[in-house]
A = this chain, B = another copy of it.
């Protein structure tokens, strides 16, 4: 396989699973050509005139969709670790003797460990989509027959829109649907809030199946998925395990270290003048991020100002700010807890977005660039501010990209991260995998100091007399190494197990097989 050095100096393949791949060329450098992908023109004459597309079972729907060897089957991850559908779908594929399917989920979760048997027996050839947990380990150890491809949420939309990934059958699980195929995630026993990650699938897949456990009489209002794009609908007993869809227990961190990180992050934003009337922010989920929101809320109360909008995944802290009038709007891409689901269903200022509106780089602009402050995580950061979110320092691919790459286009990108984890430094000379180029990452906040990207002279100037512990990233790296030493790098096999796409579909890095001695 030919490898070429891309614009961030990484050797990447020029071909992925037999198709041409373009190495990363720099931010905004790759100019796409051609037209968006489009589906065959359907005709109402081939669909039931009364709008009733319901069939009895998932199996019947799959057979009617012409399931066969080599197809691409897509799904969304709004049910997260509570998904009860996709294991069934591939059980049916196995039963029907279908082989070499490509699974194209927006993310996979530990509940999908069940599918390893199908990767083993050839029912599934490979997975393209973020892999959390066992499937990531399986892939890292070189067991998947083809190369995995990881994309951001926006990158997934881009890939489908641009025809890089052609979906044969889209499986859309929904909290509520009608027999025509209109669907939402707002109501029912398996409510997940949004269904935005299935939007591209519904628009661009050849065949679309909507599966629900709460089939209502037409019309299912609101329709997050439009039945006009749907071929078949199915009612089953249970599409998701609601206790795992939303935990209901997403809480602010109690760790003093993480609270400190969150407080320093909020203080930095304040001192840098970023928290001002009408500003906007995105903090994401996770204990530290939630704590940042909470600190923002306090600062905003003190200053008596409000934010124009916050971007989610939403959670009870953002919902409280919305309800108390501290935020005009929540623009929500997914929903992390039950308060988020409730608020989205009842509050018109809690507006749903999609990877198209928020993140698609191949559109006429998206929302990410409009956001003032974005708080993100990372597994590793290098001295050039390049960051990694997919692999650990032991080389294992254990996380997805999510909206992380897309959010890097926001006006100020801040990564609150511990200086080291399990005595392994988080700041280093070279990250294991580059997921985002350093020029888009503005500030690294650690418990021992804050490093500002030298490109952001404005932030350096604004905080120079702030009393905050501003250091260079080199200083932070050295401090970490003084404490932990420089850990030995893992060794790798030759096989490339995963390609990491940038938001424009080019390849920014790849992940190699973890060598047996590290397994």
Residues on A close to B: CB < 8 A?
A: 27-45, 47-51, 53, 161-162, 180-181, 208, 217-219, 221-223, 226-231, 278, 308-309, 329, 331, 348-349, 351, 356-357, 360-367, 369-370, 409, 411, 504
Report whether B362 and A44 are in contact in the complex, using a CB–CB cutoff of 8 Å: yes
Alpha-carbon separation in the docked complex, A29 to B29 (Å): 48
Smallest Cβ-Cβ distance to A309: which chain B residue: B219
Report whether A42 and B228 are in contact in the complex, using a CB–CB cutoff of 8 Å: no
Report whether A365 and B38 are in contact in the complex, using a CB–CB cutoff of 8 Å: no
Residues in B neighbouring A34, C-beta threshold 8 A: 40-41
**How far does the Cβ of A289 sit from chain B's closest Cβ, in whole Å?**
21
Report whether B50 and A411 are in contact in the complex, using a CB–CB cutoff of 8 Å: yes
Known contacts A41-B161, A365-B227, A365-B228; A222 and B351 CB within 8 A of each other:
yes
Alpha-carbon separation in the docked complex, A47 to B369 (Å): 10
Alpha-carbon separation in the docked complex, A219 to B356 (Å): 15
- A38's partner among B37, B43, B217, B356 (CB-CB below 8 A) is B37
Known contacts A49-B369, A351-B221; A363 and B44 CB within 8 A of each other:
yes
**How far does the Cβ of A278 sit from chain B's closest Cβ, in whole Å?**
7
Known contacts A226-B357, A228-B357, A230-B364; A348 and B221 CB within 8 A of each other:
yes
- A219's partner among B33, B48, B217, B351 (CB-CB below 8 A) is B351
Residues in B neighbouring A366, C-beta threshold 8 A: 44, 228
**How far does the Cβ of A36 sit from chain B's closest Cβ, in whole Å?**
4
Report whether A218 and B38 are in contact in the complex, using a CB–CB cutoff of 8 Å: no
Smallest Cβ-Cβ distance to A349: which chain B residue: B221
**How far does the Cβ of A367 sit from chain B's closest Cβ, in whole Å?**
7
Alpha-carbon separation in the docked complex, A360 to B360 (Å): 26
**How far does the Cβ of A329 sit from chain B's closest Cβ, in whole Å?**
6
Residues in B neighbouring A362, C-beta threshold 8 A: 41-44
- A44's partner among B28, B309, B357 (CB-CB below 8 A) is B28
Report whether B364 and A42 are in contact in the complex, using a CB–CB cutoff of 8 Å: yes
Report whether B365 and A409 are in contact in the complex, using a CB–CB cutoff of 8 Å: no
**How far does the Cβ of A172 sit from chain B's closest Cβ, in whole Å?**
13
Report whether A50 and B364 are in contact in the complex, using a CB–CB cutoff of 8 Å: no
Report whether A35 and B40 are in contact in the complex, using a CB–CB cutoff of 8 Å: yes
**How far does the Cβ of A297 sit from chain B's closest Cβ, in whole Å?**
20
Alpha-carbon separation in the docked complex, A236 to B454 (Å): 42
**Cβ contacts A to B, 22 pairs, < 8 Å:** A28-B43, A30-B43, A32-B43, A35-B39, A35-B40, A36-B39, A36-B40, A41-B161, A44-B366, A44-B409, A45-B361, A48-B365, A48-B369, A49-B409, A53-B365, A181-B364, A221-B329, A227-B364, A228-B356, A228-B363, A228-B365, A228-B366
Residues in B neighbouring A226, C-beta threshold 8 A: 356-357
**How far does the Cβ of A314 sit from chain B's closest Cβ, in whole Å?**
15
Alpha-carbon separation in the docked complex, A221 to B226 (Å): 20
Alpha-carbon separation in the docked complex, A351 to B224 (Å): 12
Alpha-carbon separation in the docked complex, A249 to B28 (Å): 53
- A51's partner among B41, B231, B331, B367 (CB-CB below 8 A) is B367
**How far does the Cβ of A220 sit from chain B's closest Cβ, in whole Å?**
10
Alpha-carbon separation in the docked complex, A366 to B278 (Å): 41
Known contacts A43-B504, A44-B369; A364 and B228 CB within 8 A of each other:
yes
Report whether B33 and A41 are in contact in the complex, using a CB–CB cutoff of 8 Å: yes
**How far does the Cβ of A169 sit from chain B's closest Cβ, in whole Å?**
14
Alpha-carbon separation in the docked complex, A27 to B29 (Å): 50
The 9 lowest CB-CB distance pairs between A and B, nearest first, are: A28-B45, A36-B38, A47-B365, A51-B370, A32-B41, A38-B38, A49-B369, A228-B363, A35-B38
Alpha-carbon separation in the docked complex, A370 to B32 (Å): 41
Alpha-carbon separation in the docked complex, A34 to B38 (Å): 10
Most chain B beta-carbon neighbours within 10 Å: one of A41, A45, A219, A366: A41
Smallest Cβ-Cβ distance to A410: which chain B residue: B49
**How far does the Cβ of A315 sit from chain B's closest Cβ, in whole Å?**
20
Residues in B neighbouring A357, C-beta threshold 8 A: 223, 226-228
Alpha-carbon separation in the docked complex, A227 to B222 (Å): 21
Alpha-carbon separation in the docked complex, A48 to B368 (Å): 12
Alpha-carbon separation in the docked complex, A48 to B366 (Å): 10
Alpha-carbon separation in the docked complex, A27 to B36 (Å): 31
